[in-house]
Amino acid sequence: MDYLLTDEQKMIQELARKIAEEKIKPVAAKYDQSEEFPWEIMEILAKADLFGIFVPQEYGGTSGGVLDLCIATEELSRACGGIAVCYAASALGTFPIMLFGNEEQKKKYLPDLASGKKIAGFGITEPEAGSDASAIKTAAKREGDYYVLNGLKHFITNGGDAQIYTVIVMTDKTKGARGASAFVVEKGTPGFTFGKKEEKLGIRASSTRELIFTDCKIPKENLLSKEGMGFIVTMKTFDMSRPGVAAQALGIAQGALDVAVKYAKERQQFGKSISSFQGIQWMLADMATQIEAARALVYSCAREIDVGCKDVGKDSAMAKMFASDVAMKVTTDAVQILGGYGYMKDYPAEKYMRDAKITQIYEGTNQIQRNIIALQLIKEMAK
Amino acid sequence: MAIKILLEKCTGCTLCVKACPFDAIRIMDKEGPPAGRQAVIDLNKCNLCGACVPACKFKAILLEKPQVLTGAKPDLKDYKGVWVFAEQKKGKVQPVVYELLGKARELAASLGADVSAVLLGEYLEEEIQELIWRGADKVYVVETRELANFQDEPYTNILVELIKKYKPEIVLCGATSIGRSLISRVAVKLRVGLTADCTGLDIDPERKILLQTRPAFGGNIMATIISPNYRPQMATVRHKVFPETQSDMKRKGKIIRENFDGPFLVSRSKLLDIVDEIESTVNLAEADIIVSGGRGMAGPENFKILEGLAKALGAAVGASRAAVDSDWIPYSHQVGQTGRTVSPKIYIACGISGQIQHLVGMQSSKIIVAINKDPDAPIFKVATYGIVGDLFEIIPALTKKFKEVLKR
Amino acid sequence: MNIIVCIKQVPETTEVKINPETNTLIREGVKSIINPFDAYAIEEGVRLKEKFGAKATVITMGPPQAEAVLREAISLGIDDGILLSDRAFAGSDTWATSYALSAAIKKIGAFDLIVCGKQASDGDTAQVGPGISAHLDIPAVTYVKKIEEINPVRNTKAIIGEDKISNGVKDNFARVERMTEAGYEIIEVSLPALITVVKEINTPRLPSLKGMMRAKQAKIIHWKASDIEVELNFVGLAGSPTQVVKIFTPAPRVGGQMLKGETQEIVDRLVGLLKSDIP
């Protein structure tokens, strides 16, 4: 299907695909096994200018948009969902600065993030504040020219490996969600440490750690926007990044389908390749169709954001939910098509299935996405 | 100069389409009456190679090759004899030279001409004699300190001068790293044709010209090339394609010494050092037997097992790109498209799957033995003898058996 | 410092397949790529450019669509691309090709180093690189696997001892390692010079997005035969000393026998089969 991509977007697709094929595929299983952070790949992506594709040119990027980021994330995920999320999570940590930073903050942080010299992370989730962001406990207390942070964020992607973090903490607990504020915290700041690295089912190349703040003093200049804007910063950031998770799911699904089709053509049973059996053919047809439908949804949603449509919440929730559900279904079917081999770690199918699962969970579980969609629907009907 | 399709003869039969190695011919509807199909040549793709002309049964393709020669056409008849450039390293004539001398004798016999060797270097007395014993009727010798080691410029200057003076009709040279560099320069300076890396050489019985056959596209196609209007006709020849001649101590020959000095010996490059890397005494290009390892070797330490077999056989050790890229063995051992092209008598591929890039570098070997645990590995499609099994079990057993049988 | 990289567009040979029925090449849909060996030449050119702030120009001779490989080279960091394209060049053999390229290089002007891949993957001749150096009458070193040192600055006698000058190597020089059958040689060569490079010299980078954007915008210089000083009698099919008289497909190698059984059994049989062929 032709998605009428711009020349720049086609270049991003070609470049990301090349890197995925030549550099990521050969090491995907290795990182899945070792759970090391894939610095070598991050360097390659940095040299290829891919970290800055959504950042304005004046800050060292190439002034693309959310669709550009989705295209890159999809292609990288096709080879390894874990490595791709290290890349996408840096974008997630960069968005708040890009959207809400003042000129000084943008000048200070964006060029290094756009060039990939530094990578970013985003911290909102806490042990007792997952889908319910208003339950955040980590607090920032103003002391003169500083804020002092105390508390703990957990399950933070790129945690410990990223150099720049945007975190959402409470500046006024009495105001609930309206008392949250967004801050930039740099790795190495005294009082800012990391917890143990989580062992995960999938996306194992990515690192997930706790961010621990113990009387961590940061300059007041690190506040993004104003006090109390934390919830807005988060919502706007997720609006931008949610299609990225959808694109990650899409890429994982496509990668699994690629594996399944190749295997079906090669695998001989009863004297024929199994791709000649209708049972397999129908599975492949369904997988491909679902992926294409997901892609149409993801790209359309990304385009809406890029042209500045308001109220994209429902559409981006639909894209994230649908693409991740498709990814789970398609990767499970891919394992089925590979049969016994699909279940073995020597073959890539099972990894896609493990990597797919998280896309139904993070950046708002698919249950939360359904809430968003339904609430918006009802709201529209009430008009 | 042009190529064209004669519309009245073309039937649109597609024979030329199949013959074209450049995918430059398409069959299309004829313009205007009578209705029918015709071949159309895409001139941007066409290389004027002429492969389509004999393929056409209807003589519908016309390739005009005007014979343009500037200045006085050299009198081709003045050129006589077959020359072999006797490449030496550290004063030792390289084995490929003896392979060429054998072929040169055959060619010279068809032409009724002499075979000469050209030897440049220093302290070469024994080698001169050996060249005669191995088939040279004459040996042209230039001995001076500056020529001890190969240097592009003085070697080029001297060889050009000797050719101008003695006018051989054919000059052959090994397709070695030295030979390919040197002869390219010589051919340009003499404005003559040069065919690289030949695997077949013959004399056209009627025209008495050299027919040079060489592989292209990594051995996927073969081309026969001539240079009828220029002398000498020059070719570099692959190692191990022709058998070495044996030494016949009764043979007699003439030694012609030439002296060069001054401007002929000036070189704008200087050899500072020669570093021999390959530990085994046998180098890949000249080996009769190569034992080669790939991804299936599973690690650098396991190449010792291959070295053991190589030692028992007097073989060289090769490797696939996968093994070299994993840093298990230096690049100088790599066989294949981005490494060396080899054609030994026996090539033993151990744990090499047989990607096309590897096959093009070794498929002209006389006997290929493949040992691999994957029965579907493409290497078995070209192997003379295939063994599906664990190479860590088979190779040591093979080494032991060869040692017994060969008593080495 | 000026660097010139010569490249060629070739069909992706790994995709060239033989039609088993007609025994002919299937070239339809085969991608055209930069000659794999030239990728190392481009990378070396770009590295020298980055190190010395040099200008790197890439040149190719071929049909109009060869512009694609020039743009690819620019996406990898090369500054300018020149396409030498004319029907008059069609059918050129290595003599005529190196002649035309050397004439174009003369038109580019002063240069310090020409870098070529060791050979092209379609023709495999390895003759054009050294041929260019002969036409330009500059020294050449083939099969270079490493540039140990390069000093492009003239008149810096303080750096170089008298010895080198008296041996013909000038003060602007390169010291390189040249791969041989048994190892390598260390050679010092005066600049300007031509080198052909092997795979071991570097690991080519991937393009960058900004490079690709620049490549898309880049203006490729087109030269025809009339734009450079060449004698038309020395180019194209008519100007080529060699002629292809026949192209054929070798009989594809077919697999032989599979040896089966216990390890010792197999080994005994194989040794028996090979024994007479071992010198």
DSSP string of B131-188, one letter each residue:
HHHTT-SEEEEEE-GGGSS--HHHHHHHHHHHHHHH--SEEEEE-SHHHHHHHHHHHH
Distance CA(A368)–CA(A371), nearest Å, equals 5
| A251 and A212 part of one domain | no
Tell me what the mean pLDDT of segment C120-131 comes to. 89
pLDDT at A128: 86
Position B377 in a domain: yes
C210 touches chain A (CB under 8 A): yes
Question: What residues does C2 pair with on adjacent strands?
Answer: C55
Residue B25 has pLDDT above 90, yes or no: no
Position B291 in a domain: yes
Residue A363 has pLDDT above 70, yes or no: yes
The complex's ipTM works out to: 0.86
B309 touches chain C (CB under 8 A): no
Query: Range with the lowest mean pLDDT among A162-171, A340-349, C18-27?
Result: C18-27
| B219 and B302 part of one domain | no
C135/B188 touch (CB, cutoff 8 Å), yes or no: yes
Distance CA(B52)–CA(B56), nearest Å, equals 6
Q: What percent of chain A has pLDDT over 90?
A: 88
Nearest chain C Cα to B389, which residue? C263
Position B110 in a domain: yes
| A163 and A113 part of one domain | no
| A192 and A238 part of one domain | no
Query: Range with the lowest mean pLDDT among A284-288, B362-366, C20-24?
Result: C20-24
| B132 and B260 part of one domain | yes
Residue C132 has pLDDT above 90, yes or no: yes
What is the DSSP annotation of A2-63? Answer: -----HHHHHHHHHHHHHIIIIIHHHHHHHHHH----HHHHHHHHHTTGGGTTS-GGGTS--
Instruction: Select the residue of B66, B269, B369 nearest C270 (Cβ to Cβ).
Output: B369
Chain B 347-406, CB below 8 Å of chain C: which residues? 355-357, 360, 363, 366-369, 380-389, 393-394, 397-398, 401-402, 405-406
| B344 and B316 part of one domain | yes
Q: What is the mean pLDDT of chain A?
A: 94
pLDDT at C166: 40
C110 touches chain A (CB under 8 A): no
Q: A98 CA to chain C: closest CA distance, Å?
A: 20
Position B70 in a domain: no
Distance CA(A87)–CA(A45), nearest Å, equals 8
Total CB pairs under 8 A between chain A and C: 36
Q: What is the CATH number of the domain that holds A152?
A: 2.40.110.10
Residue B8 has pLDDT above 90, yes or no: no
Comparing CA positions, the residue from A89, A207, A203, A97 lying closest to residue A159 is A207
Comparing CA positions, the residue from C176, C183, C182, C181 lying closest to residue C202 is C176
Residue B188 has pLDDT above 90, yes or no: yes
C209 touches chain A (CB under 8 A): yes
C179/B274 touch (CB, cutoff 8 Å), yes or no: no
| A211 and A223 part of one domain | yes
Comparing CA positions, the residue from B13, B60, B47 lying closest to residue C247 is B47
Q: What is the CATH number of the domain that holds A276?
A: 1.20.140.10
Q: What is the CATH number of the domain that holds B200?
A: 3.40.50.620
pLDDT at B40: 87
Comparing CA positions, the residue from A255, A254, A313 lying closest to residue A289 is A254
Q: Which amino acid is at C3?
A: I
Comparing CA positions, the residue from B210, B227, B1 lying closest to residue B107 is B210
| C31, C203, C209, best to mutate vs chain A, most A CBs in 10 Å | C209
**Per-residue confidence at C57, pLDDT binned at 50, 70, 90?**
very high
Q: Is the CA virtual torsion B91, B92, B98, B99 positive or negative? A: negative
Tell me what the mean pLDDT of segment B311-315 comes to. 88
Q: A104 CA to chain C: closest CA distance, Å?
A: 25
What pLDDT, in 10s, does the model give residues C210-245? 999 999 999 999 999 999 999 988 998 888 999 888
Compute CA distances B256 → A104, B262, B305, C54, whole Å.
Answer: 84, 20, 49, 49
Residue C156 has pLDDT above 60, yes or no: no
Comparing CA positions, the residue from B107, B87, B101, B94 lying closest to residue B147 is B87
Q: Which residues of C touch B406 (CB under 8 A)?
A: 275, 278
Total CB pairs under 8 A between chain B and C: 328
C271/B405 touch (CB, cutoff 8 Å), yes or no: yes
C50 touches chain A (CB under 8 A): no
Burial (Cβ within 10 Å: 0-12, 13-18, ≥19) of residue C18:
middle
Tell me what the mean pLDDT of segment A245-258 comes to. 97
pLDDT at B189: 94
| B27 and B96 part of one domain | no
Nearest chain A Cα to C210, which residue? A49
| A32 and A172 part of one domain | no
pLDDT at C169: 60
| B383 and B314 part of one domain | yes
Q: What is the CATH number of the domain that holds B314?
A: 3.40.50.1220
| A242 and A218 part of one domain | no
Range of the domain at A176: 121-230
Range of the domain at B83: 76-265
Q: What is the mean pLDDT of chain B?
A: 88
| B154 and B41 part of one domain | no
Nearest chain A Cα to C213, which residue? A8
> A221, A304, A363, A380: which is the annotated catalytic residue?
A363
Q: Which residues of A touch C206 (CB under 8 A)?
A: 15, 18-19, 22-23, 44, 47-48
Nearest chain A Cα to C208, which residue? A48
B223/C187 touch (CB, cutoff 8 Å), yes or no: no
Token digits of residue A23: 């550099």
Nearest chain C Cα to B204, which residue? C245
pLDDT at B69: 46
Q: Which residues of C touch A47 (CB under 8 A)?
A: 205-206, 208
C123 touches chain A (CB under 8 A): no
A62/C210 touch (CB, cutoff 8 Å), yes or no: yes
SS3 A359: helix
Q: Which of B34, B64, B94 is the last residue of a domain?
A: B64
What is the DSSP annotation of A330-342? Answer: HHHHHHHHHHHHH
Q: Which of B232, B265, B298 is the last residue of a domain?
A: B265
Position A344 in a domain: yes
Residue B222 has pLDDT above 80, yes or no: yes
Instruction: Select the residue of B68, B184, B225 nearest C131 (Cβ to Cβ).
Output: B184
Position A1 in a domain: no
Instruction: Select the residue of A7, A53, A62 nearest C216 (Cβ to Cβ).
Output: A7
Position B69 in a domain: no
What pLDDT, in 10s, does the model give residues A111-130? 999 999 999 999 999 988 87
Strands B25-29 and B37-41: antiparallel
**Per-residue confidence at A295, pLDDT binned at 50, 70, 90?**
very high
Tell me what the mean pLDDT of segment A10-35 comes to. 96
> How many residues in chain A?
383
Chain B 118-147, CB below 8 Å of chain C: which residues? none
| A154 and A48 part of one domain | no
Q: Which amino acid is at B173?
A: C
pLDDT at A79: 97
| B95 and B243 part of one domain | yes
Q: Which amino acid is at B293?
A: G
Position B273 in a domain: no
Position B275 in a domain: no
Token digits of residue C50: 């980055």
Number of domains composing chain B: 3
Number of neighbouring beta carbons within 10 Å of residue A146: 16
| B296 and B259 part of one domain | no
Query: Range with the lowest mean pLDDT among B67-81, B82-96, C35-49?
Result: B67-81
What pLDDT, in 10s, does the model give residues B257-295? 999 988 899 899 999 998 887 655 567 878 889 999 999
Nearest chain C Cα to A72, which residue? C209
Distance of CA C37 to the CA centre of its chain: 6
**Per-residue confidence at B384, pLDDT binned at 50, 70, 90?**
very high
Q: Which residues of B touch C234 (CB under 8 A)?
A: 70
pLDDT at C208: 95
| B43 and B134 part of one domain | no
Number of domains composing chain A: 3
| A25 and A114 part of one domain | yes
Distance CA(B192)–CA(A97), nearest Å, equals 68
B246 within 8 A of B229, measured Cβ to Cβ: no
Q: Which residues of B touch C230 (CB under 8 A)?
A: none
pLDDT at C163: 41
pLDDT at C129: 95
**Per-residue confidence at C253, pLDDT binned at 50, 70, 90?**
confident
Comparing CA positions, the residue from C60, C58, C53 lying closest to residue C4 is C58
Q: C57 CA to chain B: closest CA distance, Å?
A: 24
Torsion angle in degrees (nearest 10) through CA of A72, A73, A76, A80: 180
Distance CA(C83)–CA(C75), nearest Å, equals 16
B371 within 8 A of B394, measured Cβ to Cβ: yes
| A108 and A143 part of one domain | no
Residue B362 has pLDDT above 70, yes or no: yes
Q: C210 CA to chain A: closest CA distance, Å?
A: 7
Tell me what the mean pLDDT of segment B181-205 comes to. 93
C31 touches chain A (CB under 8 A): no
| Helix extents (H) in chain A | 7-19, 25-34, 39-47, 66-79, 81-100, 103-115, 230-266, 278-306, 313-343, 349-357, 366-382
Q: Domains, chain C, ranges and CATH?
A: 2-243 (3.40.50.620)
| A348 and A244 part of one domain | yes
DSSP state at residue C147: E
| B182 and B328 part of one domain | no
Position A71 in a domain: yes
DSSP state at residue A311: -
Residue A250 has pLDDT above 70, yes or no: yes
Position A325 in a domain: yes
Position A63 in a domain: yes
- Return the partners of chain B (3 or more C-beta pairs < 8 Å): C
Token digits of residue B65: 């090759």
Residue B1 has pLDDT above 90, yes or no: no
Position A313 in a domain: yes
Q: Which amino acid is at C188?
A: E
C124 within 8 A of B180, measured Cβ to Cβ: no
Residue C159 has pLDDT above 50, yes or no: no
pLDDT at B21: 72
pLDDT at C76: 96
pLDDT at C16: 56
Instruction: Select the residue of C205, C206, C212 nearest A11 (Cβ to Cβ).
Output: C212
Q: What is the CATH number of the domain that holds B32?
A: 3.30.70.3270
Q: Which residues of B touch C253 (CB under 8 A)?
A: 363, 368, 381-382
| A33 and A74 part of one domain | yes
| B110 and B253 part of one domain | yes
Q: Which amino acid is at B256?
A: I
Burial (Cβ within 10 Å: 0-12, 13-18, ≥19) of residue C222:
middle
Compute CA distances A346 → A165, A338, A342, A349, whole Å.
Answer: 36, 12, 9, 9
Residue with the bigger pLDDT between A216 and B63: it is A216
pLDDT at C27: 57
Position A326 in a domain: yes
Q: What are phi and psi of B153, to 5 degrees?
A: -70, -55
Instruction: Select the residue of C206, C210, C216 nearest A44 (Cβ to Cβ).
Output: C206
Residue A75 annotated as catalytic: no
Compute CA distances B19 → B48, B127, B344, whole Å.
Answer: 13, 47, 31
A84 within 8 A of A77, measured Cβ to Cβ: yes
Residues in Cβ contact with C86 at an 8 Å cutoff, skipping those fewer than 6 apart: C224, C225, C226
Q: Which of A202, A230, A258 is the last residue of a domain?
A: A230
**Per-residue confidence at B73, pLDDT binned at 50, 70, 90?**
low
Instruction: Select the residue of B220, B226, B334 nearest C245 (Cβ to Cβ).
Output: B226
A112 within 8 A of A186, measured Cβ to Cβ: no
Position A2 in a domain: no
Distance CA(B328)–CA(B295), nearest Å, equals 10
Distance CA(B284)–CA(B105), nearest Å, equals 26
Comparing CA positions, the residue from B385, B386, B378, B373 lying closest to residue B360 is B378
Instruction: Select the residue of B229, B357, B363 nearest C253 (Cβ to Cβ).
Output: B363
| B9 and B94 part of one domain | no
Q: Which residues of C touch B177 (CB under 8 A)?
A: 142-143, 178-181
Q: B38 CA to chain C: closest CA distance, Å?
A: 19
Distance CA(C97)–CA(A150), nearest Å, equals 72
Tell me what the mean pLDDT of segment B102-106 comes to. 95
pLDDT at C158: 38
C71 within 8 A of C18, measured Cβ to Cβ: no
| A281 and A164 part of one domain | no
**Per-residue confidence at B407, pLDDT binned at 50, 70, 90?**
confident
Comparing CA positions, the residue from B279, B198, B211 lying closest to residue B239 is B198
Distance CA(A98)–CA(A237), nearest Å, equals 10
Tell me what the mean pLDDT of segment C251-272 comes to. 84
Residue B343 has pLDDT above 60, yes or no: yes
What pLDDT, in 10s, does the model give residues A132-149? 767 899 999 999 999 999
Distance CA(B244)–CA(C22), nearest Å, equals 37
A228 within 8 A of A181, measured Cβ to Cβ: yes
pLDDT at B72: 43
A97 within 8 A of A184, measured Cβ to Cβ: yes
Tell me what the mean pLDDT of segment C251-256 comes to. 73
Position B94 in a domain: yes
Residue B219 has pLDDT above 90, yes or no: no
Tell me what the mean pLDDT of segment C145-163 comes to. 64
Q: A302 CA to chain C: closest CA distance, Å?
A: 20
Instruction: Select the residue of A22, A23, A48 nearest C209 (Cβ to Cβ).
Output: A48
